[in-house]
Amino acid sequence: MLKLYYAPATCALASHIALEEAGAAYTIERVDFKANQQNSAEYLKVNPKGRVPALITDHGVLTETPAVLAFIAQSFPKAKLAPLDDVFAFAQAQAFNSYLCSTLHVAHAHKMRGYRWATEESSFADMKRMIPKTVGASFALVERDMLKGPWVMGEAFSICDIYLFTMAQWLEGDGVDLATLPKVVDHRNRVAARPAVKKVLEAEA
């Protein structure tokens, strides 16, 4: 059975929701960030990166949210969580998810994880000040050019919507002005109303 290592309010929420939307049989195991469990010897054996998500599969451990989401979509095709029959559309979905992973999420990480890039307190403060601007710019691009509507890929709900919803949980905390992102906010509300999403949010609360 699939097993997801997660921590609440993190990017692992996307993988959790995808498993639920897919109707997969899975278990979850919480990683306690307050106790720095992600860097414990035991967890580093699961994921040497010291991060969540990590999905244990029959084939081995899978990390990196875009890869985990694509794996879930491909493993449970009946759930139609990605355009699996259209090579280009699938690549577009991957492009969207890669943008969230490599640009939007990394911009967000400068708020809490500045020590990855600098050592001076003044550098951390500077990075934090930039968060509304850098995270806001990434979301502005999604709002203007990437979210086709009603769902990210157009008419069909997909892993892209799950991932965008997960990143959009951080908007208020990152100080981004919601008034500038009406489509993203409307999208977030519609994803939040899905039964699978409600169930996962309750499970992680």
Binding site for ligand GSH (CB under 6 A): 10-11, 38, 50-53, 64-65, 101, 105, 113
Q: Give the Cβ contact number of residue 183 at 10 Å.
A: 16
∠ CA 33-9-16, nearest 5°, is: 100
Cα separation, 175 vs 98, whole angstroms: 23
> What is the side-by-side order of every strand in the sheet holding 60-63?
26-30, 2-6, 54-57, 60-63
By C-beta, is 53 or 83 nearer to ligand GSH? 53
Q: Of 22 and 55, which CB lies nearer to ligand GSH in the complex structure?
A: 55
Q: Residue 179 corresponds to which tokens in the numbers above?
A: 């008034």
Calpha distance 180→25 (Å, rounded): 39
Compute the chain's Rg from CA coordinates. 17
Q: What's phi and psi for 30, nearest 5 deg?
A: -80, 135
CB of 111 to ligand GSH, least distance (A): 11
Select 70 or 195, whichever has its Cβ closest to ligand GSH: 70
Least distance to ligand GSH from the beta carbon of 171, Å? 15
Kindly tell me which of 44 and 203 has the beta carbon lying closer to ligand GSH.
Answer: 44
CB-wise, 21 or 64, nearer to ligand GSH?
Answer: 64
Nearest-angstrom CA–CA distance, 6 and 52: 5
Min CB(116)–ligand GSH separation in Å: 8
Min dist. Cβ of residue 123 to ligand GSH (A): 17
- In the complex, what is the shortest distance from the CB of residue 11 to ligand GSH, in angstroms, rounded to a whole number? 4
Q: Are strands 54-57 and 60-63 parallel, antiparallel or unpaired?
A: antiparallel
Taking the least distance from each CB to ligand GSH, the nearer of 37 and 150 is 37
Q: What is the largest CA-CA distance in the chain?
A: 51
**Least distance between ligand GSH and beta carbon 44 (Å):** 11
